[in-house]
Chain A
Amino acid sequence: MTAFRRYGLALLVAAAISFVAIPAAKAEVGVTDDKILFGSFQDMSGPAAYLGKMCSLILNTWKQHVNEDLGGIHGRKIDTVIEDNKYDPVLTKGAFTKLVDQHKVFALTAVYGSTPCQAILEDIDKVKIPVFTTAATSQTMFDPPHRYLFHYANSNRDGSIVLVDFIINDLKAKDAKFGICYQDDEYGKDGVAGLELAAKKYGFKFAQAGYKRGEKNLNPQAMKLKAAGVTHCLFVGFAPVYAAFLAEANKMGWKPIFFGDYVTVDPRTFMAGDLPNGHYHCFDLGLRSEGVPGWKKMEEIFTKHNAKEALEWPLAPVMWTPLMMLTKALQDCGKDLTREKLVDTLQNIKDFDTGGLGKIQFGPDLRKGSHVYRVLKCDAEKKLFVPVTDWREPSLVWGKR
């Protein structure tokens, strides 16, 4: 009830402000009588070009879905403009300036990349432009929270804690020797930090081996973890590298139980044949193979708009769910759309129904959207990932939220 009242109050205040301060004719930046303009930067030709391709496809499908299937939002059509940032911080800064000052977009959506997003962190605060959402994994994206920046992605720190909880409480592993192989950057080190927290809680020591992004020869890392006698090995990195790591471990006859992070929940993990079979993964999204309503709806929409390719990507909901939530928020905002109102609306949406795609929840001081996880088991024969636990929160809470 209080939430409802606060929401109503915020609406009232926002409406009052917009009524008093802004003449009716002058609308918010990027919002015209018949159009709302959203911007995004995507890596179209750099190291994350695969992500860029998928995300622009999803973004485009969202535009078509809203405009054609829903008939727009309060009489306005959605338009999007995408700048290529090549995953490069300077180009991102340029792309941001171009989107804000030249295209005059209303808000940014569906962006990712730690270094690119960090480069514009300050500008977002200065311009006061909503960014909904970024999938950049860096902790600085939501801790401390920035009013205009919303983060929705699996946190590897949470992931490591969830996995250790699972190993100790569900698998009831005796004399487990923990180890972690991680991509040596912000993204991978987050996983190590989670393991450190869990190690402190449960009182164990662990072995670690990092590799540089782009490295292909994981022989020294696997050797090191094998020499340390690791029996439960976490892996934080991309699916093809995970496959290479499994092959390397197999080659040297090292047979621990592996625990992949959320991006290893990917068809490319099966590049290692039946090696990933029976090993575990941590994931925060619903699975297509479960046939949840959210995925059913995605299948319908993406098939209709010739974007079936995106359905092969298990991580697609990480971009799609926020876009659905954004659609709802835009509808809730009513005709007088402003940036401030959108941010307030977004942070006050409670229990958004994703149709089983995974929880997404923000709050007035909460900019981390992802909270609950499941542990999946890999079935290499059917090329599937099967949940073996219910949705659960990590047993440790860290950082300012």
Chain B
Amino acid sequence: MAVTRFCVRNYKQDLRIFPSPSAKVALAILAVLLLTLPWWAGKYLVFIACVSGVSIIGALGLSILTGMTGLISLGHAAFMGLGAYTAAILSAKAGWPMIACLPAGAVMAAFTGAVVGIPTLRLKGLYLVVTTLAFQFITQHVIYHWESLTQSDKGIKLAEPMILGLNLGTYDRFYFVILILAVVTALLTKNLAMSRTGRALVAVRDRDIAAEIIGIHLAKYKILAFVVSSFIAGLAGALYAYLIGLIAPDHFTFNQSVLYIAMIIVGGMGTVLGTILGAIFMVLLPEAINALSGPIATAYPALAPRIGGISVVVYGLVIILFLILEPQGLFGIWIRIKRYFKTWPYTY
């Protein structure tokens, strides 16, 4: 019974960012694990954690635009690319420190987001999807061919990330930068979702004409969604640039955009927790497949040349089966697990 009381929450609690006491305990444990990660995990795991962190930030940005506001974008990687290139150029050519490059990248992406957002106001559904796709390809083309600025596929090498004279150039140090920013982004997104603005965005998603009738300024909120989303994408891109150390046009392709869409769908649309889970899942899935396929290829060398094809098939199958069995995504599973404990021991 104690468990039951522990998990159920009242309306007042519902209004908080972290509703139930159990959430607080779980969060505390998670916080300790995350904060000590570089000490107990190997370097490789820390790197994966860094990539996950950047993906979480990027995916949160997309979830504001697509999950909350219902504007589907296939140009998310282009916004990340803008952020990354702004940071890289300022770092490598103008010698700016990281602390200035990160926000600069984010602002640049946000500005472009506004510019892209305005003409797309009239577009809906797939028309918007393909227009953002156009933005993706055109940005890629410009980055590739503006050689004097971007050095094309030679790529730009960033200066070491320094804060207050401290070099954060290793994965286990840079991990904390990413961790802090990921947590801040997640909190802000959650906060946004619970504010008047967030509810306005959701209203736009559910029925934009109805939303307009009840007094929501459509243009304002759509552009706002674009700006906030691309700001976060730009930040993620800039972080990514510092994490990898050298960026080239190939890093921000259409496939990346699709990957981000996959993250928020697999996670469960429009929820912060779902998005985080989705991002981690999509980063870990190929890793898990690789981890399994490696030993298999070693054990059966005859299979080795085919292992690549098999892993692509498995990747696709996991996504298909997963969504057929749980269309609400990881968040749906999470809710189900929670419900199980809430009603325990009277689980049906």
Contact = CB atoms under 8 A, between A and B. Distances in A.
Interface stretch (B7-15, B42-50, B173-181, B217-225): B42-50
Interface centre among A56, A57, A97, A138 (most CB of B within 10 A): A97
Given A49-B308, A84-B308, A84-B311, A140 B154 contact: yes
B347 interface: no
B290 A82 contact: no
Given A83-B294, A101-B43, A93 B305 contact: no
Contacts of B309: 45, 49
Nearest to B47: A97
A172 B210 CA distance: 78
Contacts, number: 84
B31 to A, nearest CB: 25
B51 A115 contact: no
B171 A97 contact: yes
Interface stretch (A15-23, A116-124, A221-229, A256-264): A116-124
A57 B303 CA distance: 11
B290 A83 contact: yes
A186 B47 CA distance: 28
Contacts of B153: 114-115, 185-186
A208 interface: no
Interface string A117-133: 01101100000000000
A98 interface: yes
Interface string A61-104: 00000000000000000000111101011110110011011100
A98 B44 contact: yes
Interface residues on A, range: 35 or more
Interface residues on B, range: 20 to 34
A331 interface: no
Nearest to B304: A56
A49 B312 CA distance: 12
A44 B311 contact: yes
B305 A102 contact: no
A57 B305 contact: yes
Interface in B233-249: 244-246, 248
A282 to B, nearest CB: 23
B145 to A, nearest CB: 9
Contacts of B305: 53, 56-57
Nearest to B141: A212
A93 B304 contact: no
Interface in B31-72: 42-44, 47-48, 51
A44 B306 CA distance: 8
Nearest to A63: B301
Contact of A121 (B48, B171, B246, B251): B246
Contacts of B157: 122
A52 interface: yes
A119 B243 CA distance: 11
B288 to A, nearest CB: 12
B42 A91 contact: no
B250 interface: yes
Interface string B242-263: 0011101011000000000000
B293 A90 contact: no
Given A84-B293, A89-B250, A93-B244, A60 B304 contact: yes
Interface centre among B286, B287, B307, B308 (most CB of A within 10 A): B308
B245 to A, nearest CB: 5
Given A97-B43, A119-B244, 9 more contacts: A49-B308, A88-B250, A94-B44, A94-B48, A115-B155, A115-B250, A119-B246, A119-B248, A140-B154
The 6 A-B pairs at the shortest CB distance, nearest first, are namely A44-B308, A45-B308, A101-B43, A115-B250, A53-B305, A98-B44
